[in-house]
Structures are given as C-alpha cells and as structure tokens.
Structure 1
C-alpha cells in the first residue's frame, strides 16, 4: 500500500488528500455493474486511497459502498480502515427531527455502518430557512455519536458564515475548485482558514478535460463527444471561463510542466489545487468497474509533484486572461440555485 497523505477534520476523522468520487456510479456516466464496482474499489484501497465520497442521490453509490464495507469487515475483522463520506440532498420541505433521522438512518442502512464518518449537507433553496433546522438536528445527532463529521456541500460563504454563527461546527465544505473555477479563493478560502473548515473539492480535473486526451484536440460538441454528465458540465464551465482556444493554451502550459516533472497534466492540475491554502482534499471521480478507467497512477503521482514558482507563473500567465467566474456566476454553488 502506498503512503497517501491524509488530512484530519475537526472531529478527528482522517481522510486521504485525494478522495475517490462515486458520482460516476449514479447512472449519468453509463451503466454500472455493482459487483464489478465493488471489486474495483479494492484497487483503490490497496493503493492507499481509502476515502470514498458519495451521496444519497448518487444512484446505488451508498449500497455499493455498503457491500464493499461489509466484505472488508468480513475479510479483515474489526473496523475496516476505509472512510465513507456521504451527502444528504433533500428537497426543501419539513425538517423536523423525524425527517432528519429517517434520512440518516437510510444512509446508515445502505452503507452498512453504525456511524456516518461524514455527512455533507446540501440544500437547494436559501429562501427556505428550514436548512438551519435540519442542521440543528444533525448537530444534535453528531453529539449523540451517530455522525462523526458534519459538513456541507455547495454552500456559499455568506450562508456558511450564517451557519457557523449559529454555533454549528462544520468540518468541511465540498465545492467546485479547479484551474478553471477558482471562485473559492475569492471569499471562501479566508473564512475557512479562520474557522478550521477544510475545502473538499470536485471538478478539479474538469471531468477529464484537463488531460492529454484533449490537448490539441478539436472542440468537443454534442452528446457523442460530451458523452458523460461530467464532460458536458465542465465543458460549459470552460466556455464561460474563456473558451476552447484559451483552454488549449492552458493545456499546452500544463503539458510542458508535466513533462518537466515526468507526470501527467492531471497530476499537475491536482497538485495545483492541493496546494491552495484551505484545501483539505481533492475528489477525483472513479468510473468503478469500467476497465481501463482507473487513474490511480496519476493520483499517486500528484503527491510527489512540487510546482515551482516558474511553473506557477506560467500557469498564471494564462489564467489572468480568463473571465471572472465570481462576477459571472456568483459564489460557490450559485450555479445550482439559479
């Protein structure tokens, strides 16, 4: 097993600095064989990548994790050295204790665990203040030992501050953060550093766009070329950021840096975000059970790369010519709330 760096969250849970993302088993990236998916998780585990990120709305993700966890428990005995971070993504509505308990118990049952390592709460509508009621109940359940780390997903800085001011301890906030989308650096980073809140980031590889595959390639268009939900989502982000020509300039710079460090573009892109001050970990999507779709080597390589001031200057030379996504979209998560 490789020595993979970890970060400690405020409740004491240690997670890998690169987490295995399970959005890709939701069905939006093609059919998934649950048996093969469980088998594939062993590859990540044996490489030292022991932290898995999922959600109640990611199709069978929690059940797949639960089957994996159960097999590990039988094989190893005791409590497996694996971390399961899930999300609760309710539609706005009643948020009394029973509603919250039912959601938590469903995840416990699916994941086949007695305690949730980390529950990351997302809420669609800030105008419906019942998200504060839900977080109050979740905080109580954390004190009771049902939840170890209480976290958020796609909350902006203003509402993160509101929640913290209510006395609710938040361990992390999961947000989009990449060379394309650097909005967390505008406001959220400073607040998170002040309150010991880690950023867990997704979209860091742009659904695969930040790779050699798209270097010097024609601009992908339509469902045939943007054939996964990730590719479609992050191609739209590239368009807003500056377009395909500027993106090609960025890939060229990243390719040159990657060759100098004997690694991949993905490793450079991951390292850049890992080095940002408030970032605890980067979530890299896993197409579990799809042969040849593992990128474990690139992930492990990102831990040994050290970007020089010259590397950063070359990257910044491209990024400074991009559009300001903070002014175009708004703070983190604004794209999900219209």
Structure 2
C-alpha cells in the first residue's frame, strides 16, 4: 500500500491530506456506540489515515478520540500514539472571553482527548459584531506559546475577518471551510489571501454529505426527513438547491461518473481530487460513521490518491459548474451560511 500523502502546517504539525471527520459521531447522523467507534479508529490508522478532526460540540467525539488514543498508547507505546493527529475545535457561546474561559476550554479538550498538548485548536465564532473573538484568540495565542496548543487555527471565518486577525499579529495555521464542486467560494478570494500569509485550508462538505456519489446518480431528488435522514444530507441538499438545483447536479454527477469509469475509481475520488488540487488546500475532511457496520469507506478514500485530473478533465467539469449560480452573491464569503 502506498503511503498516504501528508502536508505540514506552519507550526510543524504533519497531517494527512485526507482527514477523518468525526461530526458523524455527534448524534446528528444516528446513534453511535462510543466503545465501537473508538475501536473502529484502529482500521483508519492502520491504513495510514492517521488524522482525525473533531470539536468540543461534536457530542462524545473528543472522549472517543481520547479512549482510542490512550488504548493505542497502552498497547503500542508513546511513539505509535505520536503518529496520530487529533485536530479539535473550540466553539464557545458568546460571552466574556477572559484568560480563564479560554484556558478552561483548552484544559477540557486536553482532558477529554487524553493528550498533553492539542495538535491543532480551530476556533469558531458565531457573531462578528461581538469583537470578543479577538480577546479569545489573544488568550489562545498565549496558551500556544505556553505549550498547550501546537497549531492555532480557525474554522468558518471569512476573508475579511481572517485579514483582521492576522493584522493583530495572531499567527493562524489554517482555516477550515466548506469547499466542494458545489461550493467553490474559498477559491474566489480567500485562497489568494491564505497563500500570501502561509495559511492553509482544511475543507469539509467536499462530498456533500454523501450526495456526491454513485448512490444519487440518476435518482429523483430526495425529499423529507425520511430520505434526508442525516444532518449532512439535509445541509448539503440545501446547498445544491442554492447552487443550481437537482437537474444541474445530475449533469455534474454524470460528468464525474464518466471520468471515474475511465479511471476505475469512484465519483467521490474525482470530487475529492479536484478540491485537493485547489490553491491553499492542505487537506480534505471525509466524514466517518465510526463503529457503524458497513459504513466504512477506507479503501475508496485511499483510491483518491491514485487520481490525476488532466486540464481536459477539469474543463469538462467546469463546463457544468459554469452554469451554476454564484454562491458568493447568494450566500456570501465562507462561513456566512452560519451567520445570515
């Protein structure tokens, strides 16, 4: 098996170019057995997919990681455990952002994840009109200098706020944003700024919660909670409607399917490869239904690294994308969907 490609963030943390997303253990995608979920993480690490993305608000995600991490360390030693990366998020409610508040949040994640230093803490803020996000980031930067955080990062911040934060002297390693064939907003202006500042993008929603797959090729549009039965399916179905609708989406899937068939790979491989090739993108986060029988897609995920899209392939894809609506006009810059 070829090694999984990795990339280094500015603080030195090396992560896989495809990360294992743990939003799916939050409860919004169906029930999860925490013990089975922790055990299922072994298969991903054994395949070389050693980077896990989670958040303090993803239900038991941090505790599941901590259980897995401590068991791995006990079985195979500290060196084996050091080969696994745990990226988490702090998503506070609006309120005073004192040093005590920030340190409590960091300490809570350290405790849950059973680590001595957070590999990467990605900060999210709901309301830009409340400028206390700058206070919070200032304290997090101090905690980083004290050794509690390796990489200080953001999630769902727009380009304007990213410029503001960096102008205050706060060093940011990455920004996690939605990026897919459906949602290409990060490529409009954020990627250029990130490249100029040495900031990298970690992307989610790249497979549209599973909608960008063979399963939905040639099907009628899903409706209702019975067919859109996870938070991801509902969220990204709404994005497809804003982008151009189910008919145009079917044209896109058909184009991706043709490319996939000529390469002996999947639609997901082609869609992921497209985003991985975009400027400033360090890695793509692919959601994992950990511990759910039949829900693992490790082999298919690894197939992405065998795909190389030619300029003609990209032209064919973008001929469809060019007929979609401009999400920068209808939604705004990255993260605005959480604040409108």
Identify the TM-score tier after normalising by the shorter chain. over 0.9
Q: Which digits, 9 at most, give the CA deviation of each residue in 1:167-200, with x for residues without a partner?
A: 0000000000000000001110000000110100
C-alpha separation in 2, matches of 1:276 and 1:292? 31
Deviations 1:31-77 (CA, angstroms, capped at 9, x unpaired): 00011101110110000000000000000000000000000100111
Q: 1 CA distance for matches of 2:261 and 2:75? A: 41
Residues 112-151 of structure 1 mapped to structure 2, 5 A cutoff = 112-151=114-153
- Give SS of 1:303's match: helix
Cα shift at 1:201? 0.1
Shift of 1:304: 1.1
- Tell me, what secondary structure is at the counterpart of 1:270? helix
Q: 1:242-321 to 2 correspondence within 5 Å?
A: 242-321=244-323
Residue 38 of structure 1 corresponds to which residue in structure 2?
38
- Residue 95 of structure 1 is matched in structure 2 by 97
The answer to whether the 8 Å contact 1:238/1:244 transfers is yes
- SS state at 1:294 partner: coil
Q: Distance in 2 between matches of 1:19 and 1:289?
A: 17
Q: Tell me the residue number matched to 1:3.
A: 3
State the alpha-carbon separation in 1 of the partners of residues 268 and 297 from structure 2: 9
SS, match of residue 57 in structure 2: coil
The 5 A counterparts of 1:97-246 are 97-246=99-248
Please give the per-residue CA displacement for 1:281-323, whole angstroms capped at 9, x wherever unaligned.
0000000011111111121111110001111011011000000
Partner SS, residue 113 of structure 1: coil
CA distance in 2, matches of 1:303, 1:196: 24
Once residues 303 and 255 of structure 2 are traced to their aligned partners in structure 1, the CA distance between those partners, rounded to angstroms, is: 18
Name the SS for the 1:151 alignment partner: strand
Q: Is the 1:19–1:281 contact (alpha carbons within 8 Å) kept by the matching residues of 2? A: yes
In 1, Cα distance between equivalents of 2:135 and 2:70: 33
The structural deviation recorded for 1:2 is: 4.5
Specify the alignment match of 1:25 in structure 2. 25
* Matched-pair contact (CA < 8 Å) for 1:2–1:48: no
- Report what 1:13 is aligned to: 13
Give ranges in structure 1 of 5+ residues lacking alignment: none
How much has 1:159 moved relative to structure 2?
Answer: 0.1
**Alpha-carbon shift at residue 253 of structure 1 (Å):** 0.2
Alignment partner, residue 64 of structure 1: 64
Following the alignment from structure 1 to structure 2, what is the Cα–Cα distance between the partners of residues 35 and 332? 35
Count of residues in Structure 1 that have an aligned counterpart in Structure 2? 338
How far apart, CA to CA, are the structure 2 residues paired with 1:125 and 1:65?
29
Go from structure 1 to structure 2 and tell me whether the alpha carbon gap of 1:38 and 1:2 turns closer, same or farther (over 3 Å shift).
farther
Give the alignment's TM-score, normalised by structure 2: 0.99
Contact 1:2–1:47 under 8 Å retained in 2: no
Alignment partners' CA distance in 1, 2:2 and 2:223? 38
CA contact (8 A) 1:254 1:268 kept: yes
